[in-house]
Structure 1
Amino acid sequence: MGFAAIVVAAGSGSRAGGDKQWRVVGDRPMVRWSVDALLTAGADSVVVVVAPGAEARAAEALAGLSGWRTVAGGAARADSVRAGLAALEVADDTPVLIHDAARPFLNSAVINRLLAALNDADGALPALPVADSLRRGVEGLVVGGIDRDGLWRAQTPQAFRLKTIRDAYVAWTESEAPTDEAAVVERAGGRVRLVEGDAHLMKLTYPEDFAMAEALLPKTTRIGQGYDVHRWGPGASVWLCGVEIPHDQTLIGHSDADAGLHALTDAILGAIADGDIGDHFPPSDPQWKGASSDRFLVYAADRVTARGGRIVNVDVTLICEQPKVKPHRQAMRERLADLLKLPLDAVSVKATTTEGLGFTGRGEGLAAQAVVLVELPA
């Protein structure tokens, strides 16, 4: 069944810190989740209602999608819905879904239930039964209970035929703010059917809601492994895992030769299949001569963030006879935790020797290996 849709994205989002409709959830701006879901479900046209002057932000957030257009909204939500309805150029009997951009996890199953419900009703909305006990409170004290029998939590999108919702808004008293479109149609005498909602269709209102949304997103885990070697040469100190350690030698390399950071950088890049440290910071480029390797690590971590992912934990092993790592291990862990914005218990640094065997055992060089676990949107 063909249908049209309105996505209301004109609010200030002040309770979430402002401009929440443009905030990235998972790997995309929040408004894109809804527009993409509606188009995927078969919407013939989608009107995105934005604040005046926000058209360029919408174009950036929805780049690559077709079948949508923007219109400027009003001061109140009802004004924005009216603007969206006025912008629709479809037949009067076309089903129209009106959705809040603040509910990003819309799916086709909910959309199909809404459209089917319009066969014998003037409107439809997804809803969930109230499961929690309800109490009335005054000044922080309970003053009574509320029977939750027959109570439902209304969600969006809400569905109506175009003429039904347009006529209902014409009849609505301008001085009164409707709670939602279902209230407008009910007031006009229409029958609005409840259909099964979806717990994932939560409204993101407060800052903590975004953490909940991220937790609900399907994810995939990736493991990356890195290995690096540098030879010893004349010097007075050595950099390992971002910490300078006094020593009678130093590691030789184009940058600061921090083998621990190099191995960890490669592990992160490997987890997201993004090449290796040499691809991004070639030793043939003079700008990286003597560079601090923490720049490489932060760059790799930012590549994970840009893909909507996060680093879960890291584990670095330094393989050498000298210097002694244990006295500096805590400082290394703290430095890595700071660079990667990780809790300390998600960062491991340890050291081992090769019992005098091989190039590390002979004191010719130092090796480092690293393993990282990364979560990415599925």
Structure 2
Amino acid sequence: MPQPTCIVLVVAAGRGERFGSDLPKQYLDLLGSSVLRRAIHPFLDHPRITGVRAVIAPGHENYYQAAMAGLDLLPPVIGGATRQDSVLAGLEALAGDPPDLVLVHDAARPLVTRGLIDRVLLALDQADAALPGLPVVDSLRRVEAGRVCGEISRDGLVRAQTPQGFRFQTVLDAHRRHAGDTSVTDDVELVRRDGGQVAWVDGEEDNLKVTRSDDLAIAARTLGARPRRFASGLGFDIHATAPDRPLFLGGVEIPAPFGLAGHSDADVLLHALTDALLGTIGAGDIGVHFPPSDEQWRGAESGQFVRHALKLLAQREGRLEHADLSIMAERPKIGPHRGAIVARLQELLGLPPERIGLKAGTMEGLGAIGRQEGIAAQALVTVSFPA
């Protein structure tokens, strides 16, 4: 029996007025990635997720494109004036080729885990919808005009979270029937009012919703405390010199009486770096992704090879921590150009200069490099992944 298809709708159409920032909160930085990017990441490599689609506010297209660069996502959908309108817009965008299941997740929840996703999906085997939540453990009081005026029983109460899971046609029908009903605060309530069965699964304390500036600081502390595993990747490349070509090293054109032979721009340093990045995720080498037999890569700028490797790394929620690079060339002298190369590597890799090592040396006249017949480069990168 084939596995059910499942699309994730990440609702990111809010303006975030309560947060008090000029930039909508879903696009704010959280330890080097936007809140929205971190909310999306856990779904991208989940084996049961078919695709991820964001619902964004009109006018946020540039924010979205910058925040999602390098991720393999379905095209975004423009949302409406309310959350319910936005979810319905996302569901309607999927209706032409409907999945079996859909998960609806808040963009302001950047700490969802695979375990939580698994529990929601498992519950959908037996129910029309699934709600993750946490039992209310604090005493509840009703307050009016600044005075405590009563107690509320917490028996049977849970704090609702996302992702909420649904059988697709069930939630689409419920949204269509209740369109414009402003009394409903989330999607499981629409399904419940329509007579659907809603299962409850354990939520997670860490799965907080970023609503105030304090929440962003809490999310950063929580994320920073999570264990990570580390991997290293090694890359090496060598190209023969060619008198009729420009010389590119690290994305910078270097004045020299020769360049390097190759199908692309033959940037030996960026080729070694690309191989090192690909090695951290077992994704082959540069020739697998950009074969020299393919004419579209003739003369290509090698920075795009690095960006492609970083995209694959990001899809696996990998984070580049450090890059150590060496150039082996008899000439030209690399020292005068070191600053420019490091600056370009900063742009490509998104790393500060203290996390980029760049060294250069000669071969003391020995071998092919010593005879100025070629230039070689080596790259060693360190990458971390969620443990």
TM-score with structure 1 setting the length: 0.58
**Distance verdict in 2 for CA 1:116–1:188, change over 3 Å:** same
Query: What letter corresponds to residue 6 of structure 2 in structure 1?
Result: F
**Distance verdict in 2 for CA 1:114–1:68, change over 3 Å:** same
Q: How far apart, in 2, do the equivalents of 1:65 and 1:173 lie?
A: 32
Contact conserved, 2:9 with 2:54, CA < 8 A, in 1?
yes
More deviation in 71-80 or 170-179?
170-179
1:200 aligns with 2:203: no
Gaps of 5+ in 1: 221-271, 277-281, 288-298, 309-375
Contact conserved, 1:27 with 1:377, CA < 8 A, in 2?
no
Contact conserved, 2:88 with 2:176, CA < 8 A, in 1?
no
How far residue 27 of structure 1 moved from its aligned partner, in angstroms, is 1.9
How far residue 57 of structure 1 moved from its aligned partner, in angstroms, is 2.1
Which residue is 1:121 aligned to? 127
Q: How far apart, in 2, do the equivalents of 1:76 and 1:132 lie?
A: 30
**Distance verdict in 2 for CA 1:130–1:90, change over 3 Å:** farther
How far residue 84 of structure 1 moved from its aligned partner, in angstroms, is 0.3
1:25 aligns with 2:30: yes
More deviation in 53-62 or 157-166?
53-62
Query: What letter corresponds to residue 94 of structure 2 in structure 1?
Result: L
1:40 aligns with 2:45: yes
How far residue 89 of structure 1 moved from its aligned partner, in angstroms, is 4.8
Q: How far apart, in 2, do the equivalents of 1:23 and 1:31 lie?
A: 8
Q: How far apart, in 2, do the equivalents of 1:11 and 1:37 lie?
A: 21
Q: How far apart, in 2, do the equivalents of 1:115 and 1:77 lie?
A: 23
More deviation in 138-147 or 77-86?
138-147
Q: Which of 8, 13, 34 does residue 10 from structure 1 map onto?
A: 13
Contact conserved, 1:127 with 1:196, CA < 8 A, in 2?
yes
Structural mapping, 1:69-148, within 5 Å: 69-89=75-95, 94-148=100-154
Contact conserved, 1:22 with 1:31, CA < 8 A, in 2?
yes
How far residue 126 of structure 1 moved from its aligned partner, in angstroms, is 0.4
Q: How far apart, in 2, do the equivalents of 1:123 and 1:377 lie?
A: 31
**Distance verdict in 2 for CA 1:121–1:175, change over 3 Å:** closer
Task: Give the secondary structure class of the aligned counterpart of 1:43.
Answer: coil
How far residue 79 of structure 1 moved from its aligned partner, in angstroms, is 0.6
| Fraction of identical pairs, as percent | 39
Q: Provide the aligned C-alpha RMSD in A.
A: 3.4
Contact conserved, 1:6 with 1:46, CA < 8 A, in 2?
yes
Which residue is 1:212 aligned to? 218
Which residue is 1:50 aligned to? 56
Task: Give the secondary structure class of the aligned counterpart of 2:189.
Answer: helix
Contact conserved, 2:52 with 2:73, CA < 8 A, in 1?
yes
Structural mapping, 1:1-378, within 5 Å: 1=3, 2-16=5-19, 17=21, 18-41=23-46, 42-89=48-95, 94-172=100-178, 174-217=180-223, 218=226
Contact conserved, 1:78 with 1:177, CA < 8 A, in 2?
no
How far residue 214 of structure 1 moved from its aligned partner, in angstroms, is 0.7
Q: How far apart, in 1, do the equivalents of 2:102 and 2:324 lie?
A: 46
Contact conserved, 1:27 with 1:307, CA < 8 A, in 2?
no
How far residue 177 of structure 1 moved from its aligned partner, in angstroms, is 3.8
The structure number with the bigger radius of gyration is 1
Q: How many residues align?
A: 247
Task: Give the secondary structure class of the aligned counterpart of 1:69.
Answer: coil
**Distance verdict in 2 for CA 1:283–1:106, change over 3 Å:** same
